[in-house]
Amino acid sequence: MAVELTYDLVLELRFLFTGQYPIALMEQIGKQKNEVYSGLSQDIRRPGMLSGSREFSVAGRNFLVLFASDQRQIDQVSDKRPLRVIDIHELKVSEK
């Protein structure tokens, strides 16, 4: 199984052009994408979708990252599994 990681376009812009999120966060997500995918569960609101979240700490900042995976997009030949970052929230110290 190979996990193919993608980002919502708006989030990519926030990483690459506005600098709202550190590039190191992208790197951490990429390193942990297989574990994140394994932790997803069925989304009861959207049939055929898996969803979940994970917290990441980067450069002294904490982020809650939301993920989704459309199971209809699985490539059966190569066994590629889609994993999309759909939203990111920066957590303040009091939100932990």
Tally of domains within the chain: 1
| Whether this model's pTM surpasses 0.85 | yes
Residue 5 CB neighbour total at 10 angstroms:
18
- Looking at per-residue pLDDT, the higher value among 78 and 88 belongs to 88
What is the pLDDT averaged over residues 59-63?
93
- Looking at per-residue pLDDT, the higher value among 49 and 72 belongs to 49
pLDDT of residue 56 exceeding 90: yes
40 falls within a domain? yes
Q: Can you tell me the distance from the alpha carbon of 56 to that of 65, in angstroms, rounded to the nearest whole number? A: 7
96 falls within a domain? no
Return the pLDDT at 44: 84
pLDDT of residue 95 exceeding 80: no
What is the pLDDT averaged over residues 13-26?
93
Contact status, residue 5 vs residue 82, Cβ threshold 8 Å = no
Return the pLDDT at 46: 86
Determine phi and psi for 18, rounding to 5 degrees: -95, -20
Which structural domain, as residue segments, surrounds residue 38?
2-91
Question: Burial level of 86, CB count in 10 A (0-12/13-18/19+)?
Answer: middle
36 falls within a domain? yes
